[in-house]
Amino acid sequence: QISDMAFGIRELSKKLVQIKLKLNVRNIFILGKAHDETLISHSRETTEWLLSKEPHYRVYVEDTLEQNRIFDSEGLLNDNPDFRGRLRFWSKKLCDERPQTFDIVLALGGDGTVLYASWLFQRIVPPVLAFSLGSLGFLTKFDYELYPQTLSRAFGEGITVSLRLRFEATIMRSQSNKKTDNKRDLVEELIGEESEDHHTHVPDGTHNILNEVVLDRGPNPTMSTMELFGDDEHFTTVQADGICVSTPTGSTAYNLAAGGSLCHPDNPVILVTAICAHTLSFRPIILPDTIVLRAGVPYDARTSSWASFDGKERTELRPGDYVTISASRYPFPSVLPLDRKRQDWVDSISRTLQWNSRQRQKSYKEWTA
C-alpha cells in the first residue's frame, strides 16, 4: 500500500504543476524595458487596444512612462477621454504592497523582461503572459505580432499557468564576536554544537529568484573556497571559481554554461553546479527542493566571495557570511502557450538548442561511417 500512496502523490503532483485558470480581468499590468523606444511604442499600442476593448479594463504602465514623450499619456487621454481613470501607473512600491491588485502581467521584450517581473514581485506574482518581440525564448512564449488574438482568447477562454519554482535566498552576515573571532569555524557554527547559538549571524536581505544564485570569486584572481551545507549536514568544501545554485527554470541559463544538465521546469529540484571546480571529483548535483541549502565563506578564507541573484544585486560575502537558499512559498506563474501546453518545454529546448525534432541533425561524425 506504500507503493500506492507514492503513486497517488505522483499523480497529484502531475496535476499541480500546470494549473488552469479562468480570468476575470479588470486590472492589467504592462511591463517593458523603459529605455527601449520600440517597446514604449508597443506598450502604448497594447494599452490603447486594451482600454478600447472593454470599458471595465484598467491598464497599469510603469510610472516612468507618465511623462514619457513617446508614450505620450497626455495625448492618449486627450484622444480618448474615457480612458481617464483607467490608465494608471505602477511603481515598485505598488508591486511590493499590493500585488493582488493585478489580474495579469503582460511582459513585452525578451526573457530578461520576465526576470524583471520576478524581481518586481518578490512575494505573490500575478500570472505573467510574456510576448517576444523577436524569436521566442524559454520564458517568452507568445509572438507579439499576434497579441490581439492571444489576449482575446486568453481573457475569454482562460489560461494555463506553469508554476515555476523560485528560491528564497537570504544573506546571513557573521556578527563580530571579540572573544572568539580568531578561531571561529563556519562548519561548527552552522551544524556543530554552536548551531544552537543564533547570535552568530543576522539576516541581511532576502531575494526571491527565478533563475539562479551564483557565489563566485568576483574580482579576485584566485579561486574561492566555499562550504556547502544541506539541511543539517555539511556536504563538502568546494574549491572552484564559484558555485551556481539554479532552479529548473534557470537550468538553461548560467547552469548550462557551467556544465549543468537541462532540467524540466516541473521537477521539484535544486541544481548545484561548480564553476570551474579545481578538484576532479566534483560533479553537478541534483537535490530535492525540500532541502535547505547553505553556502558560505569559511572564516579562514583569504578573500571574500560575491553573491548575485538572477544576475543582479551583486553583494560581497566576507569570511563567515553565508547565503541560505530554499524553495520559495511564492512560485512564478508563467502562462503557457494556449495550444501546445504540454509540449512547451520540448518546444523551447528544440528551438533554442537547435534540436531539430523531425529533421536529422547533421552529425560531425557522419563522415566516418
Binders of a copy of itself among residues 177 to 206 (CB under 8 A) are 187
Report the C-alpha gap between 70 and 305 in whole angstroms: 43
Residues, the chain: 369
Place of cell 536529422: 360
Which of 96, 149, 279, 318 touches a copy of itself by CB under 8 A? 279
For CA atoms 204, 191, 230, 165, the dihedral sign is negative
The Cα-based distances of 349 to 71, 115, 211, 217, 249 in angstroms read 35, 18, 16, 31, 12
Q: Does 355 bind a copy of itself (CB under 8 A)?
A: yes
Report the C-alpha gap between 332 and 130 in whole angstroms: 12
Q: Does 342 bind a copy of itself (CB under 8 A)?
A: yes
The Cα-based distances of 82 to 48, 51, 52, 67, 79 in angstroms read 11, 9, 9, 20, 9
- For a copy of itself (CB under 8 A), the number of binding residues is 110
Q: Does 275 bind a copy of itself (CB under 8 A)?
A: yes
- CB-nearer residue toward a copy of itself: 176 or 366: 366
Q: Does 354 bind a copy of itself (CB under 8 A)?
A: yes
First to last CA, the chain: 52
Report the C-alpha gap between 158 and 21 in whole angstroms: 6
CB of 308 to a copy of itself, least distance (A): 5
Coil, strand or helix at 346: helix
- CB-nearer residue toward a copy of itself: 155 or 254: 254
Which of 29, 60, 147, 254 touches a copy of itself by CB under 8 A? 254
- CB-nearer residue toward a copy of itself: 81 or 219: 219
- CB-nearer residue toward a copy of itself: 35 or 178: 35
Judge contact between 266 and 17, C-beta under 8 A: yes
CB of 175 to a copy of itself, least distance (A): 24
- CB-nearer residue toward a copy of itself: 85 or 280: 280
Q: Does 252 bind a copy of itself (CB under 8 A)?
A: yes
Judge contact between 212 and 254, C-beta under 8 A: yes
Q: Does 343 bind a copy of itself (CB under 8 A)?
A: yes
Residue ranges in 10-49 that form contacts with a copy of itself under rule CB under 8 A: 10-14, 16, 19
Torsion from C-alpha of 183, 272, 120, 133, nearest 10 degrees: 150
CB of 77 to a copy of itself, least distance (A): 34
Which of 34, 94, 163, 338 touches a copy of itself by CB under 8 A? 163
Judge contact between 344 and 337, C-beta under 8 A: yes
Which of 53, 92, 98, 329 touches a copy of itself by CB under 8 A? 329
Amino acid code (one letter) for 249: T
Which of 36, 266, 292, 304 touches a copy of itself by CB under 8 A? 266
- CB-nearer residue toward a copy of itself: 50 or 295: 295
**Using CB under 8 A, which of the segments 23-31, 40-48, 80-88, 280-288 binds a copy of itself?**
280-288
- CB-nearer residue toward a copy of itself: 47 or 137: 137
Residue ranges in 100-139 that form contacts with a copy of itself under rule CB under 8 A: 110-112, 115, 124, 137-139
H or E element that contains 315: strand 312-317
Cell of residue 291, nine digits: 532541502
Cell of residue 245, nine digits: 545554485
Which of 51, 151, 159, 271 touches a copy of itself by CB under 8 A? 271
Q: Does 292 bind a copy of itself (CB under 8 A)?
A: no
